[in-house]
Amino acid sequence: MSEIKYPELAEQGKMNLEIAELRMEALLEIRKKFEKEKLFEGIRIGMALHITKETGILVRTLQAGGAKIAITGCNPLSTQDDVAAALAEEGVEVFGYKGETSEDYYKYLNKIIDFKPHITIDDGCDLVSEIHLKHPELIDSIIGGCEETTTGIIRLNAMENDNALKYPMIAVNDNKTKHLMDNYYGTGQSTLDGIIRASNILLAGKTTVIAGYGSCGKGCALRARGLGANVIVTEVDNFCALQAQMDGFRVMKMEEAAPLGDIFITVTGNRDVITAEHVKKMQEGAILANSGHFDNEIDVKGIEKAAKSTRRVRPMLDEYIFGNKKIFIAGEGRLVNLAAAEGHPSEVMSLSFCGQALACEYLVKNKDNLEAKVYQLPEEIDDHIAGLQLAANQIEIDELTPEQIKYLNSWQEGT
Ligand SMILES: NC(=O)c1ccc[n+]([C@@H]2O[C@H](COP(=O)([O-])OP(=O)(O)OC[C@H]3O[C@@H](n4cnc5c(N)ncnc54)[C@H](O)[C@@H]3O)[C@@H](O)[C@H]2O)c1
């Protein structure tokens, strides 16, 4: 039995799902194939993914292949209650609501474990980690799992290195059609969307400090510049720092950027990137937001401790008083694009979720040959996803001629 908060929102949820479906044509192509093949007949898929309208379309795609689905969120603030209500009405087992307590978060994760999934789909590795730590008895019946995000892959690699990983995992995030699209274009747009919805601040002319110049940071920097911001990047990796500089951004330490920024965005997958010590140096009115997976990139607890007082001033904006200064944190320091906006737009999630759907297919088709390791999907699958999206966008590209293929595979021909 589902546990959701607002069943009366189901009608709104259905309309949002309809809109998402219009924009996720590549995923709908995969759904048609699944409908014919019924590859997931008898298979239970347990998901810990943001419960958004786009995830709803992934759920329907896997159901079309015959799967039974149970889903919970992977962040206490990201569930869209209307979508949760609509999916529950469709017979999916849904557990979650926006603003969950930590207790409910883990209670719902355990509802997915009670469902005894054959395949797990995670965003951040909480489900896999809970199964490995507390429910090892389930592992024998699990075919494998799929992981959606960079932070989850980092945790899985650590598990593999510790010989702790006990079933095969597909690193969906490592698809080019995922991290070079979703993390870049999706996080870029939706992070700024979240900050704007939380604060309604104008970006033009504002100094925006972006911590981390990986896939997400590059996307945020690109879009912030597009809106007229002066972008500063902070990094710990020499190459990424150099890339940021050559892309035309100022690069410096967070300590130096702290007094200069109007807006701060963390997207590092690392902890304590902005601490109370940095905040003390910031200007009046500075806004802090995190778009990395966990809420430890900005040390919210440390900042709260060091602040004179704090209060909520808008639905997703908290004010902290330092001396005579007001500093703001958007979305409680949790994924701002999901806490204060609606997450990535459907078009980009279509690509990511083609990856999830085809990863499930890959696990089922190859279940007898996979070990307890972290796998990447073969490049042909990534290429197929890009092709599906191009077709959806009605774009045709050139094809290699036989002479070109021969040329590319030869070494004799030169100057
Ligand atoms: N908001 C979203 O919807 C969304 C979407 C995709 C990924 N993510 C999450 O965003 C985070 C970043 O993902 P990514 O794909 O960009 O990862 P990435 O590995 O491509 O980039 C992270 C960058 O942060 C840098 N970094 C690490 N510690 C740092 C520090 N202390 N200061 C400055 N820079 C530091 C790294 O050197 C790296 O270049 C992850 O937690 C990921 O799970 C969020």
Separation CA 205–CA 335 (nearest Å): 24
pLDDT at residue number 248: 98
Kindly give the distance from the C-alpha atom of residue 171 to the centroid of ligand 1, in angstroms, as a whole number.
16
- Contact (CB, 8 A) for 235 and 241: yes
Q: Rounded to a whole number, what is the distance in angstroms from the first to the last CA of the chain?
A: 70
Q: Domain 185-339 belongs to what topology?
A: Rossmann fold (3.40.50)
Kindly give the distance from the C-alpha atom of residue 145 to the centroid of ligand 1, in angstroms, as a whole number.
22
Separation CA 238–CA 242 (nearest Å): 6
pLDDT at residue number 415: 81
Task: Name residue 298's amino acid.
Answer: I
**Ligand 1 neighbourhood includes 145 CB (under 6 angstroms):** no
**Ligand 1 neighbourhood includes 177 CB (under 6 angstroms):** no
More confident residue, 351 or 414: 351
What's the mean pLDDT when you consider all of the chain?
A: 97
Select from 175, 183, 252 the residue to mutate for testing ligand 1; criterion: most ligand atoms less than 8 Å from CB: 183
3-state helix vs strand vs coil in the chain, percent to 5:
50, 15, 35
Kindly give the distance from the C-alpha atom of residue 216 to the centroid of ligand 1, in angstroms, as a whole number.
6
| 225: enclosing H helix or E strand | helix 215-226
Separation CA 190–CA 337 (nearest Å): 5
**Ligand 1 neighbourhood includes 149 CB (under 6 angstroms):** yes
Kindly give the distance from the C-alpha atom of residue 205 to the centroid of ligand 1, in angstroms, as a whole number.
25
For residues 116-140, give the mean pLDDT.
97
Kindly give the distance from the C-alpha atom of residue 211 to the centroid of ligand 1, in angstroms, as a whole number.
8
- If you take atom 5 of ligand 1, which residue's CA is the nearest one? 183
Confidence of residue 342 (pLDDT cuts 50, 70, 90): very high
Q: CA 279, 331, 309: angle at the middle one, nearest 5?
A: 50
- Contact (CB, 8 A) for 258 and 282: yes
Overall residue count recorded for the chain in this entry: 415
Location of each CATH 3.40.50.1480 domain in the chain:
7-180+344-392
- If you take atom 18 of ligand 1, which residue's CA is the nearest one? 214
For residues 301-308, give the mean pLDDT.
97
Q: Which atom of ligand 1 is nearest to the CA of 237?
A: 37
Q: Which atom of ligand 1 is nearest to the CA of 124?
A: 43
Separation CA 149–CA 186 (nearest Å): 13
Confidence of residue 376 (pLDDT cuts 50, 70, 90): very high
Select from 149, 157, 273, 349 the residue to mutate for testing ligand 1; criterion: most ligand atoms less than 8 Å from CB: 149
pTM of the model: 0.95
- If you take atom 40 of ligand 1, which residue's CA is the nearest one? 269
Kindly give the distance from the C-alpha atom of residue 364 to the centroid of ligand 1, in angstroms, as a whole number.
31
Q: Is the dihedral of CA 262, 263, 268, 274 positive or negative?
A: positive
**411 Cβ contact partners less than 8 Å away, ≥ 6 residues apart:** none
- Report residue 378 CA to chain centroid gap: 21
- Report residue 394 CA to chain centroid gap: 27
Task: Name residue 275's amino acid.
Answer: T
pLDDT at residue number 414: 82
pLDDT at residue number 286: 98
Select from 51, 150, 193 the residue to mutate for testing ligand 1; criterion: most ligand atoms less than 8 Å from CB: 150
Render pLDDT for 215-249 as a digit per residue (tens, 0 to 9): 999 999 999 999 999 999 999 999 999 999 999 99
pLDDT at residue number 115: 97
pLDDT at 413 over 90: no
Q: Domain 7-180+344-392 belongs to what topology?
A: Rossmann fold (3.40.50)
Render pLDDT for 32-82 as a digit per residue (tens, 0 to 9): 999 999 999 999 999 999 999 999 999 999 999 999 999 999 999 999 999
Separation CA 18–CA 8 (nearest Å): 18
Location of each CATH 3.40.50.720 domain in the chain:
185-339
Select from 49, 156, 239, 267 the residue to mutate for testing ligand 1; criterion: most ligand atoms less than 8 Å from CB: 267
Q: Which atom of ligand 1 is nearest to the CA of 268?
A: 24
At 204, is the secondary structure helix, strand, or coil? coil
Kindly give the distance from the C-alpha atom of residue 270 to the centroid of ligand 1, in angstroms, as a whole number.
7
- If you take atom 20 of ligand 1, which residue's CA is the nearest one? 214
- If you take atom 1 of ligand 1, which residue's CA is the nearest one? 291
At 343, is the secondary structure helix, strand, or coil? coil
